[in-house]
């Protein structure tokens, strides 16, 4: 099924790994997770690293004639991810973002990429050897503080964060329900970027929020 459902949508140029902490309920201790941001030639993918690792193992086992029981044994160590969705920017057209969410069935919504109206702040730090600057914005009623580096001139970041003159390597919201901390990056990857969710039910962004509630 995995081979039948996946399709190549781009070529990965850069891969960023983020340690994440996620909690949907304010006051509940966030759980550890890991998130991947894959920068393609035309598209930007963000999703759970653990899910991607699961898909890679499944593909490898299937390609060598393995069975479902082989997959279950090989993937038993992979944690369950709480990261809410897979997002792909510019999938349908430039300036649009597609979101894939699983509520017992896989749903897909598409909406314009929102302007973030960043405020650039005083201060700098170093993350993974890159000099970073501070910025803040309020997006979807959530206030974010981030550190970005102009030394990686890519105007992207984890989840739906973007729009700064450099890659966002650290982000945390004011309620500390979501945190993303980049710990590794690969450049000049030149590998296929897959979408494993080609069979989905169309849905509106408003309905996604209603289902989450």
The pTM (predicted TM-score) of the whole model is 0.90
pLDDT at 3: 42
Check pLDDT > 50 for residue 19. yes
pLDDT at 143: 95
pLDDT at 4: 44
Q: Which helix (H) or strand (E) holds 17?
A: strand 7-22
Rounded mean pLDDT of 153-176? 96
Report residue 126 as tokens.
């170093």
Q: Which percentage of the chain shows pLDDT scores above 90?
A: 60
- In degrees, rounded to 5, the angle at the alpha carbon of residue 188 between the alpha carbons of residues 183 and 189 is 75
pLDDT at 213: 76
pLDDT tens sequence across 87-101? 999 998 999 999 999
Give the chain's mean pLDDT: 90
Lowest mean pLDDT among 71-85, 108-122, 146-160, 180-194: 71-85
Check pLDDT > 90 for residue 24. no
Rounded mean pLDDT of 146-168? 97
CB 134 within 8 A of CB 146: yes
Confidence of residue 144 (pLDDT cuts 50, 70, 90): very high
Confidence of residue 209 (pLDDT cuts 50, 70, 90): confident
In whole angstroms, give the CA distance from residue 190 to residue 12: 5
In whole angstroms, give the CA distance from residue 79 to residue 113: 30
Lowest mean pLDDT among 17-21, 120-124, 139-143: 139-143
With 0-12 / 13-18 / 19 or more C-beta atoms within 10 angstroms meaning exposed / middle / buried, residue 188 is exposed
Check pLDDT > 60 for residue 27. yes
Check pLDDT > 50 for residue 160. yes
Confidence of residue 77 (pLDDT cuts 50, 70, 90): confident
In whole angstroms, give the CA distance from residue 191 to residue 197: 18
CB 13 within 8 A of CB 39: yes
Report residue 106 as tokens.
């896989």
Beta strand ranges found along 115-204 (DSSP E): 119-127, 130-139, 142-149, 167-173, 178-195, 201-202
**Greater pLDDT, 140 or 86:** 86
pLDDT at 140: 81
pLDDT at 38: 97
């Amino acid at each position: 099924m995995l081979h039948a459902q996946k399709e190549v949508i781009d070529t990965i140029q850069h891969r960023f790994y983020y340690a994440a902490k996620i909690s949907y309920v304010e006051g509940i201790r966030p759980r550890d997770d890991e998130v991947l941001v894959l920068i393609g030639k035309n598209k930007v993918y963000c999703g759970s690293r653990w899910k991607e690792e699961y898909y890679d193992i499944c593909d490898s086992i299937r390609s060598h004639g393995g069975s479902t029981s082989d997959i279950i044994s090989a993937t038993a160590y992979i944690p369950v991810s709480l990261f809410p969705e897979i997002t792909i920017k510019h999938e349908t057209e430039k300036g649009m973002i597609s979101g894939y969410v699983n509520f017992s069935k896989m749903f897909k919504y598409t909406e314009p990429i929102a302007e973030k109206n960043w405020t650039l702040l005083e201060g700098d730090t170093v993350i993974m050897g890159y000099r970073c600057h501070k910025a803040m914005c309020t997006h979807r009623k959530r206030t974010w503080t981030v550190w970005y580096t102009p030394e990686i001139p890519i105007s992207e970041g984890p989840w739906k964060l973007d729009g700064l003159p450099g890659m966002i390597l650290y982000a945390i919201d004011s309620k500390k329900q979501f945190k993303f901390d980049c710990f590794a990056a690969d450049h000049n990857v030149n590998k296929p970027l897959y979408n494993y969710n080609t069979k989905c039910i169309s849905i509106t962004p408003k309905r996604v929020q209603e289902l989450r509630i």
